[in-house]
Amino acid sequence: MEKSKTVFVVVLDSRRKLVLWVLNKEDVVKNEDGTVKFTKPEGWGLPGGGTEEEDRNHDKDGFDLTEINAGKREVPEETGYYIELDKYDFRLDPEEREDHQIITFATTKFSGETHKHSIGEIKQVDWFPIYNPPKNAYKGHLRRYWKVIKALKEMEALV
C-alpha cells in the first residue's frame, strides 16, 4: 500500500525576513468509523495538507508532481496566496512515518492577498519575523521549519 503524503510549505517574503503561518482552529480528527482519533488543539502551523487524487500528475520527463501540486493547492486554500512551486524549489528530504510521509518545501514566489477572515479550519493568517515564529506553533511544524531555515542558511539563501 502506498503511503499517504502531507505537504507543508515555508512561504518567505521576497526579502526573506518574514514567514507565513496559519492559526489552525481546534479540530477533532475521526477514524473512518466515526470514532475520535485525536483532538488537534488550536495552534500555529505551516500552510499545507494532504495530497489528493486531483494532485496526481507527472511532467513530460516523468517527474512526479503530486507533492508540488498539493502545495500549490493547499497554500491558497488556507491563506489566499497563490504560490509558484516547481521541482527546482527547495525541498527537505521526506520525513518518514509509519503510514505516511511529510514533505516540506520553501518558496519566495507568491501573489494574491491573504484571507481577512477565518476560513475552514484556519482561524488566522499572519506573517512572522523569520527568526521569531509564533509562540504556540505546533512542535512538529517548528522542527521542520527550523530544518528548512538551517538548510537555507547553509546554502547562503538566508542571512
List pLDDT tens digits, range 31-81. Answer: 889 999 888 899 999 999 999 999 999 988 888 899 999 999 999 999 999
Task: Find all residues with CB under 8 Å of 81, minimum gap 6, and list them.
Answer: 11, 20, 75, 110, 111, 112, 113, 114
Q: What is the pLDDT of residue 117?
A: 67
| Alpha carbon of residue 100 to chain centroid | 15
Tell me what the mean pLDDT of segment 93-118 comes to. Answer: 86
Name the residue among 45, 24, 147, 20 with its Cα closest to residue 91: 147
- Is this model's pTM higher than 0.75 or not? yes
**Which residue has 519566495 as its cell numbers?**
108
Residues 153 and 157: their CA atoms lie apart, in Å, by 6
Percent of the chain with pLDDT over 90: 64
So what's the pLDDT on residue 159? Answer: 67
Residue 1's pLDDT band, with cuts at 50, 70 and 90, is: low
Mean pLDDT of the chain: 91
pLDDT tens track for 123-140 = 999 999 999 999 999 999
**pLDDT value, residue 100:** 86
Q: Which set of grid coordinates corresponds to residue 86?
A: 516547481
CA distance 38 to 28: 6
